[in-house]
Amino acid sequence: MSNRPETNKHSCPVYKKCGGCQLQNLSYPEQLEFKQKKVEKLLKRFCPVEKIIGMKTPYHYRNKVQAAFYTDKKGKIISGVYQSGSHHVVGIDSCQTEDVIADKIIVAVRKLLPSFRMTTYNEDTGKGFLRHILVKRGFATNQIMLVLVTGTPVFPSKNNFVKAILKQFPEITTIVQNINPYRTNLVLGDNQKVLYGKGYIEDILCGCKFRISPKSFYQINPVQTEVLYGKAIEFADLKGNETVLDTYCGIGTIGIIAAKNGAGNVIGAELNGDAVRDAIVNARANNLKNIRFYKADAGEFMREVADEDEKPDVVFMDPPRAGSDQKFLDSLIKMSPKTVVYVSCNPETLARDLAYLTQNSPYKVHKIQPVDMFPHTAHIECVCEIFK
């Protein structure tokens, strides 16, 4: 293909070792074609698939960057990503999918570690201090959060460390220490201390302001998120005053944008308590009174709403990769909203859920819109418009 040179120019030196960008051997137009075909293969039995919306500049799109740490036998500290499917750290200083400033902050922290006698956590022995770093940046606000994930709570040099990193990056707006003493694959632990700033950042999406805490889910590609949410709102076809459910709502983004776009009454449900707290604050920050959020399993929440004979007009659903479940879908059918908008980050579980829904109810899928949220990786996001 004609765009081969582009591929070579951007190909990454740790492409094979890292494994994060599974499609890097393809040019960007070829990647989009690959994803389009995959979605069609899985979903065209429900309805024709719209053309995937790609990014104009598909680089450095990630607003959240995570790094793992490791000290080699010679005592050299390495930071980077886990080799896919393993716990071996591949050293990287920059990545073409990650935010440039976030990558620079991670390298700077790594270089500061020895002078503060900060050790790195060893997964085999469970000993050592620094496990991970997480950087989140609001692309619209330029607020930056640095999270230091440590294996133990005692951080003797914390004040001087904070001063030293802020001297290099005065644009960092908050620094948080998250303590994760567990032998676990999860990056973040339960306890955290704010070392500097407010403990959260804010960002703006589709004209609405959002607060993001260290542990809350927030879409990692804000440019494409606006495209995705724009489609979700278009599919909801709000005329004004509808009752809308935002399920698997995270920090309330879709529901809040729906409320700003005419929904009369919005009810959100989300399992993660930190995200629900953010969602409640976000509703207030956007001057919305007609919106409530509940900390609940989405399936349980749907069952309760259906049992109460509530009749929402529109249901947004945006489950994690595992997709939704039968409890949720049965309640959805019982509730019988006019429109269902399904946002999915996994076309396989989407296909399973759409099959269940269409086989067990008169609902039909009318539009399937893939949006490329994760260039160079094999991940695919879709939004579907469903009604009877």
Active site residues: 345
Residue by residue, DSSP assigns 164-225 as: HHHHH-TTEEEEEEEE--SSSS-S--SEEEEEETTS-EEEEETTEEEEE-TTS---S-HHHH
Rounded to 5 degrees, what angle do the CA atoms 204, 208, 214 make?
Answer: 50
Contact 351, 383 (CB under 8 A): no
| Least distance from ligand SAH to the Cβ atom of residue 231, Å | 12
Write phi, then psi, for 8 (nearest 5 degrees). Answer: -65, -40
Instruction: Supply the minimum distance, in Å, between the C-beta of residue 53 and ligand SAH.
Output: 16
130 versus 329: smaller Cβ distance to ligand SAH? 329
Q: Is 117 left (phi over 0), alpha (psi -120 to 50) or beta?
A: left
Residue with nearest beta carbon to ligand SAH = 250
Closer CB to ligand SAH, residue 96 or residue 324? 324
Contact set for ligand SAH, span 240-279 (CB under 6 A): 248-250, 253-254, 269-272, 275
**CB of 131 or CB of 215, closer to ligand SAH:** 215
Residue 333: closest CA among 356, 352, 316, 366: 356
Residues that contact ligand SAH, how many (by CB under 6 A): 18
Rounded distance, CA 81 to CA 17, Å? 10
Residue window 23-52: x/- pattern of binding to ligand SAH, with contact defined by CB under 6 A:
------------------------------
Subset of residues 191 to 230 that bind ligand SAH, contact rule: CB under 6 A: 217-219
d(CA 200, CA 147): 10
Q: Return the number of the residue (24 or 369) whose C-beta is nearest ligand SAH.
A: 369
Closer by beta carbon to ligand SAH, 135 or else 269 = 269
Q: What residues from 309 to 348 belong to the interface with ligand SAH (CB under 6 A)?
A: 318-320
Output the smallest distance, CB 324 to ligand SAH, in A.
8
Closest to ligand SAH by CB, 272 or 331: 272
Q: Which of 343, 295, 353, 292 is nearest to 319 (CA)?
A: 343
In the complex, the smallest distance separating the C-beta of residue 360 from ligand SAH, rounded to whole angstroms, is 20
**259 close to 331: Cβ distance less than 8 angstroms:** no
Q: Using CA atoms, how far apart are residues 351 and 45, in angstroms rounded to an integer?
A: 9
> What are 295's two structure tokens?
């900390």
Closest distance to ligand SAH from the beta carbon of 278 (Å) = 10
Tell me the closest approach of the beta carbon of residue 248 to ligand SAH, in angstroms: 3
Of 271, 260, 265, whose CA–CA distance to 319 is shortest?
A: 271
Question: Of residues 154-173, which lie at the interface with ligand SAH (CB under 6 A)?
Answer: none
Interface residues with ligand SAH (CB under 6 A) are 217-219, 248-250, 253-254, 269-272, 275, 297-298, 318-320
